[in-house]
Structure 1
């Protein structure tokens, strides 16, 4: 039995392209640092602008206004990284003071968008660098050196932005993996709890059904035969008393397992194949004619888990026979050995007369089939052609 881990799909965590809902203290600090970088580089451009001979005053003022607007736009870089990068790359061609904002915009684009978009903007900036240096020549650098400096600056900006992006993606993938591992751990814990509940429910059914059926059958016999001999009534009352006492003991043992969380404290030892004789004797005392055909090689070597499964199968079959065919003969056959497996067959004849109705859910045979499957074997059941009912199981027995 397994629990499907895909019954609901966990929504993906936001990546670097996701639009932030609100800025945290760290985001505000990063934005302020980017704004400061844009302003510092813009002031450097302003200094170069003042040293440009023959520049009209109106052009200088317009350059400063555009540069100030570009620096102010740094605060919206997270919301519109591509538009901000394209706009500043175009403006920086003719505005010296907008160069710092263009560098910050390219870095932001590298952090938040795929490399293809970054490459196009960086290529445009590099291609237009000669035009910028032609319009505003550097007094200390020639054209080739200025273009090489621009290429190095663009490469460093793009490289640093891609590193930040890859680091963020790595951290986000690790967080997502941790979230999935936590969800899978919760599913495994829920599955383990369900399996434990099923095992406890199966054990309660196997243990209590046998006792309570004895009690119900003999109580029903007393109800339908009020004129029975005194000795028979006393015998039935003794069986009822013993069955009720044993049922209480078994119930206390199971509750002890529930309280302690394991099967070592508060629980009686689990039955094995050696306890099968006591079970059959108890059934005979309850009025069930029983025949045991035992052809097991090395019965003392039967593994405890295998013996417990055989015991539970026989116990449930005797319970069903007592409910649906009281007084009918029952034959229990065991055969097999190490390497060939252990075969179990429990067959009962048809009841001699009408049977008082006994409540039942039909879950016993389903539980037996599941128990045999969990042990690696198989179990079949059905009516016999000559009347009655037969349950046949085969269980593996390692050599």
Structure 2
């Protein structure tokens, strides 16, 4: 069912009432002036006055039916002098509210009806040309004024729409930036906590499966668990602490932090060989962070999925040639970690590498191991 509020015309403002009042007064005064110059006798005179009254009254409804109002008063202007002011208002109204082709049609009709009006009201036929030219000038002035108002309104409307569109685009950009920040934060939490928790899992598993281990080994494993848990809490606190900070302020590991990362894995019982063939202080910051995260994820996955396997880490490259990093683990000594499945870590690493302009690939090797390799750009 149609909402009656939707079809109701907008309520007039004070400015609209003032404009309608001024146009009504113009229509009355203009019609009276024309009626005084060429009034008609008898019944035609009475009809002229009635047409003028109806035309002037119609000024108050011209906003709702601009074309209908203009068409009626223009047709009446073929004989009525008192409606001529309303006809001018009708031309102006159509020019403001309707397209130019409609305005041109109403204006052409008005000009065609001027000669019959001149013949009816003036005995001297030489007045026909003069009246036609004068009426044409008045109509064109009213139409030109209306078109200028219409164009100004359209310009203001386009500027308003452009401003609204700009606000919407700014809002979308802010949402996208926030989404990117959250995604990067999620990747950081995955990389940081995944590594720490995998260390906890390894040592806790050792205590579970060797309850009769010597006290020194139990104490050492418990110490590693305590230290890893403490470090995990510190890392989590650091990541959460920058939750509302700009993306550039997220924790930024360096290539120089690789030795400590490898040492933690070795303390967990992993056999890790590292070959870093680049100077740590020359690698660009974004590439260094990506290398660190790739090595971290590779060691974490090897610890979870290939227990007892040896791991080889290689970092090489140079300016202009790019930076290559590879983490390769051999075939595990025993069965893969029970219940362990690969999650989104490698997918996130591939996205991280792509964001820096590089690429990452991973998969099983011919000897049953697993390999993660990446190439990252290093400007010359």
Q: Same fold (TM over 0.5)?
A: yes
1:272 and 2:254 matched: yes
CA spacing shift, 1:340–1:20, aligned 2, 3 Å: farther
Cross-structure match for 1:193 = 178
CA spacing shift, 1:385–1:360, aligned 2, 3 Å: closer
Contact in 2 for aligned 1:272/1:307 (Cα 8 Å)? yes
How many angstroms apart in 2 are the aligned matches of 1:231 and 1:329?
Answer: 25
Give the unaligned 5+ runs of structure 1: 1-17
How far does residue 28 in structure 1 lie from its aligned partner after superposition? 2.3
Structure 2 length-normalised TM: 0.93
How many angstroms apart in 2 are the aligned matches of 1:111 and 1:344?
Answer: 70
How many angstroms apart in 2 are the aligned matches of 1:142 and 1:260?
Answer: 82
How far does residue 144 in structure 1 lie from its aligned partner after superposition? 2.9
Which of 325, 328, 351 in structure 2 is aligned with 1:344?
325
How many angstroms apart in 1 are the aligned matches of 2:19 and 2:206?
Answer: 87
Give runs of aligned pairs for residues 87-98 of structure 1, distance below 5 A: 87-98=72-83
Structure 1 length-normalised TM: 0.88
Contact in 2 for aligned 1:19/1:79 (Cα 8 Å)? no
CA spacing shift, 1:19–1:148, aligned 2, 3 Å: farther
Which of 259, 263, 266 in structure 2 is aligned with 1:281?
263
How many angstroms apart in 2 are the aligned matches of 1:187 and 1:160?
Answer: 41
How many angstroms apart in 2 are the aligned matches of 1:191 and 1:332?
Answer: 36
Contact in 2 for aligned 1:37/1:100 (Cα 8 Å)? yes
Cross-structure match for 1:3 = none
How many angstroms apart in 1 are the aligned matches of 2:187 and 2:358?
Answer: 17
SS of equivalent to 1:258: coil
Which of 361, 367, 372 in structure 2 is aligned with 1:380?
361
How far does residue 37 in structure 1 lie from its aligned partner after superposition? 1.5
How far does residue 84 in structure 1 lie from its aligned partner after superposition? 1.4
How far does residue 315 in structure 1 lie from its aligned partner after superposition? 0.5
Which of 32, 36, 43 in structure 2 is aligned with 1:47?
36
Cross-structure match for 1:63 = 48
Q: 1:358-392: per-residue Cα shift (whole Å, max 9, x none)?
A: 55661111111111111111101111110121101
Cross-structure match for 2:309 = 328
Give the unaligned 5+ runs of structure 2: 1-6
1:154 and 2:139 matched: yes
CA spacing shift, 1:192–1:263, aligned 2, 3 Å: closer
Q: Considering only aligned residues, what root-mean-square deviation do their CA atoms show, in Å?
A: 2.1
Which of 67, 74, 77 in structure 1 is aligned with 2:59?
74
1:164 and 2:164 matched: no
Q: 1:242-297: per-residue Cα shift (whole Å, max 9, x none)?
A: 11011111111112112555665xx7x6211111111111111111101112333x
How many angstroms apart in 1 are the aligned matches of 2:107 and 2:248?
Answer: 69
How many angstroms apart in 2 are the aligned matches of 1:355 and 1:192?
Answer: 39
Contact in 2 for aligned 1:257/1:263 (Cα 8 Å)? no
How many angstroms apart in 2 are the aligned matches of 1:147 and 1:262?
Answer: 74
CA spacing shift, 1:260–1:336, aligned 2, 3 Å: closer
How far does residue 48 in structure 1 lie from its aligned partner after superposition? 2.5
How many angstroms apart in 2 are the aligned matches of 1:179 and 1:240?
Answer: 56
Number of equivalenced pairs: 373
Contact in 2 for aligned 1:19/1:78 (Cα 8 Å)? no
Give runs of aligned pairs for residues 224-263 of structure 1, distance below 5 A: 224-260=209-245
How far does residue 23 in structure 1 lie from its aligned partner after superposition? 2.4
Cross-structure match for 2:3 = none
1:367 and 2:340 matched: no
SS of equivalent to 2:334: coil
